[in-house]
């Protein structure tokens, strides 16, 4: 039964390291649906070296629009957001531009290398705009691996920690796996998402769900069904209510 809400993927072609074509994106959506996902947020990277120019945004939105109907026929409600890598330039922008669909939330990552301070500043900028930071895969960040208290502090602020399904499956390394499970089992993680990029790394949550269910029991559902997003739903509220 389709029940998962996946808040992080790269299934819409955008010039980043995710899907390279609408056809590839549709194949990823179909695979996600086959494996239990109902709502999928495409979150193209916004990197310092790949900013969201007007031309790029136009092209991404056109690609998303081209995918919405065929994805729906495959069983996927495909929504559009962005994944922000911290940069000074983003602190001068309105974070609302980068919202996750109709949610009062913005997905941002802690850079894999270097300090977590830029992510904190960006998160505070998002928070100052009345939006909630969703912190992508903190278990993969060098700074958090060295000091897990960074992730704890973000969670205590009410920021939503999103752990990658692939981390829980051990596909990013033993340390990342251990920290991902710590965040899940200590109740610090709010969401598990696929961060799916391509056929070899699909937008799939089913394997991780079964593992989390075995280790934490019924609490697994809230990590995979979008429960943490319900208070932020806004324009997406109807869809979330219908799903639940």
158-217 pLDDT, tens digit each: 999 999 999 999 999 999 999 999 999 999 999 999 999 999 999 999 999 999 999 999
Whether residue 238 is predicted with pLDDT greater than 60 in this model: the reply is: no
Q: What is the pLDDT of residue 102?
A: 94
> CB of 39 within 8 A of CB of 74?
no
Q: Please give the DSSP secondary-structure letter assigned to residue 218.
A: G
Q: Span 11-40, mean pLDDT?
A: 98
CA-wise closest residue to 99 among 65, 136, 132: 132
DSSP string, 134-146: EEE-GGG-HHHHH
- Supply the pTM of this predicted model: 0.95
Domains of the chain are: 4-243 (3.20.20.140)
Dist. CA 167–CA 131, nearest whole Å: 26
> CB of 150 within 8 A of CB of 179?
no
Q: Please give the DSSP secondary-structure letter assigned to residue 194.
A: -
Q: How far is CA 103 from CA 131, 211, 243, in A?
A: 9, 28, 16
59-103 pLDDT, tens digit each: 999 999 999 999 999 999 999 999 999 999 999 999 999 999 999
163-175 pLDDT, tens digit each: 999 999 999 999 9
Q: How far is CA 168 from CA 35, 36, 129, in A?
A: 17, 18, 32
Dist. CA 88–CA 142, nearest whole Å: 20
């Amino acid at each position: 039964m389709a029940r998962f809400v996946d808040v992080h993927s790269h299934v819409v072609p955008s010039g980043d390291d995710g899907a390279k074509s609408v056809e590839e994106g549709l194949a990823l959506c179909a695979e996600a649906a086959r494996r239990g996902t109902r709502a999928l947020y495409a979150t193209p990277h916004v990197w310092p070296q790949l900013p969201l120019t007007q031309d790029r945004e136009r092209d991404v939105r056109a690609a998303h629009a081209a995918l919405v109907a065929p994805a729906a026929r495959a069983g996927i409600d495909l929504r559009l957001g962005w994944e922000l890598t911290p940069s000074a330039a983003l602190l001068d922008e309105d974070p609302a531009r980068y919202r996750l669909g109709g949610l009062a939330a913005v997905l941002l990552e802690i850079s894999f290398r270097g300090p977590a301070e830029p992510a904190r500043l960006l998160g505070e900028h998002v928070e100052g705009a009345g939006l909630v930071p969703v912190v992508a895969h903190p278990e993969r960040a060098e700074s958090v691996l060295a000091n897990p208290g960074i992730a704890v502090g973000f969670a205590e602020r009410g920021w939503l920690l999103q752990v990658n399904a692939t981390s829980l499956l051990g596909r990013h390394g033993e340390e990342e796996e251990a920290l991902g499970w710590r965040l899940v089992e200590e109740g610090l993680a709010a969401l598990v998402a696929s961060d799916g990029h391509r056929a070899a790394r699909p937008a799939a949550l089913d394997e991780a769900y079964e593992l989390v269910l075995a280790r934490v029991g019924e609490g697994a559902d809230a990590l995979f069904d979008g429960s943490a997003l319900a208070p932020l739903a806004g324009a997406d509220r109807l869809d979330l209510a219908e799903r639940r």
